[in-house]
């Protein structure tokens, strides 16, 4: 990676500057005594112990390990017209931001169930889950796919380009990191208190629900529509990855634990989300940028890894799988 070229990339520098400004604002707001939403508590600890390590391990390390790989044929594989890529990328950002504002402010729906609420045992019904999952499926999966088909996009061509054997080590290593990491660190209470029968039902059920409501929407909107178009505009991989991270942070504006009920708590929520989820999104984007496979992040840094230890107990409780859990279930 040519460092001198990186620092000549004005778009990358603007992205870095914006992130630093927003991150600094979070700490200024907290120091000034602004109200802090549930998700935004202990921001410094989270940044240092979770999000910066994610950035190092999933962005810089992976870029280094795959530095000799050929460029992805974005136009061919994703059927993108380079002359329209910039317009379509901005259209995607506008669509995402508008729909997130409507769903988040109007209907209390975020990217991961239960939206802006923090889950506690018995506080949500099966109807709430299905309403969230089907709404997100329709707005961020079905409608965008119809648009892609009109553009000549082909899933058959996309899947034929995947090299699962070459990318197997990435999938295994990063799946293990993202699955066991939250458990070992104590961030997810996964083992204990659940029967084998509950695990057998709860894990695939949670993967299915989260795939509808969160996984496939991010795959389609970010990894199949946004990233390939940005990759045709900017040659610098890190610029594409940073923009992908910012895009994902917009997808997370109304995730569980945020609070926009007042200006002060809204500012800490917003700045915390941009500060942290941009880094997570950069990790997700890197998998697609270096492999051309938009589903690797789905396996390693989204649904099949992290959401399993975080959400399995919640779905067992909501769907009453085998037996109800008696204890409160901490939010993811």
Q: Is the pLDDT of residue 326 over 70?
A: no
- Tokens describing residue 212: 């509808």
pLDDT at 72: 95
* Number of helices (H), then strands (E), in the chain: 19, 0
Q: Name the residue among 240, 216, 239, 233 with its Cα closest to residue 288.
A: 240
Q: Is the pLDDT of residue 236 over 80?
A: yes
**Cβ atoms 80, 304 nearer than 8 A:** no
pLDDT at 185: 76
239-253 residue pLDDT tens: 999 999 999 999 999
Cα 311 to its chain centre, rounded Å, is 15
- ω into 213 cis (within 30 of 0): no
Q: Over the Cα atoms of the chain, what is R_g?
A: 19
Query: Residue 195 — very low, low, confident or very high, per pLDDT cuts 50/70/90?
Result: confident
Query: Residue 332 — very low, low, confident or very high, per pLDDT cuts 50/70/90?
Result: very low
Tokens 């870095």 found at: 16
**pTM for this prediction:** 0.93
> Where is average pLDDT lowest: 26-40, 219-233, 284-298, 308-322?
308-322
């Amino acid at each position: 990676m040519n460092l001198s070229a990186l620092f000549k990339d004005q778009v990358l520098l603007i992205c870095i500057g914006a992130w630093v400004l927003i991150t600094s604002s979070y700490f200024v707001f907290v120091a000034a005594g602004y109200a802090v939403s549930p998700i935004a508590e202990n921001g410094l600890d989270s940044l240092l112990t979770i999000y910066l390590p994610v950035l190092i391990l999933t962005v810089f390390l992976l870029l280094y390990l795959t530095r000799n790989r050929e460029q992805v044929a974005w136009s061919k594989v994703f059927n993108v017209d380079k002359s329209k890529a910039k317009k379509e990328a901005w259209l995607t950002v506008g669509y995402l931001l508008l729909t997130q504002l409507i769903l988040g402010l109007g209907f209390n729906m975020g990217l991961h169930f239960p939206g802006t609420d923090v889950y506690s045992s018995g506080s949500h019904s099966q109807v709430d889950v299905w309403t969230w999952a089907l709404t997100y499926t329709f707005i961020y999966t079905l409608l965008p796919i119809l648009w892609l088909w009109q553009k000549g996009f082909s899933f058959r061509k996309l899947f034929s380009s995947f090299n699962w054997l070459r990318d197997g080590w990435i999938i295994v290593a990063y799946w293990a990191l993202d699955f066991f990491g939250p458990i070992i660190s104590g961030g997810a209470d996964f083992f204990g208190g659940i029967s084998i029968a509950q695990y057998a039902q709860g894990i695939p059920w949670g993967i299915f629900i989260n795939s509808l409501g969160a996984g496939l929407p991010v795959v389609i909107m970010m990894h199949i529509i946004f990233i390939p178009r940005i990759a045709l505009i900017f040659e610098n991989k890190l610029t594409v990855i940073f923009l992908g991270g910012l895009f994902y942070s917009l997808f997370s504006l109304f995730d569980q634990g945020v609070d926009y009920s007042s200006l002060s708590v809204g500012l800490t929520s917003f700045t915390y989300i941009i500060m942290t989820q941009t880094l997570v999104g950069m990790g997700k984007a890197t998998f697609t940028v270096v492999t051309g496979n938009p589903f690797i992040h789905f396996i390693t840094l989204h649904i099949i890894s992290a959401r399993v230890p975080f959400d399995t107990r919640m779905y067992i409780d909501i769907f009453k799988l085998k037996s109800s859990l008696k204890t409160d279930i901490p939010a993811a």
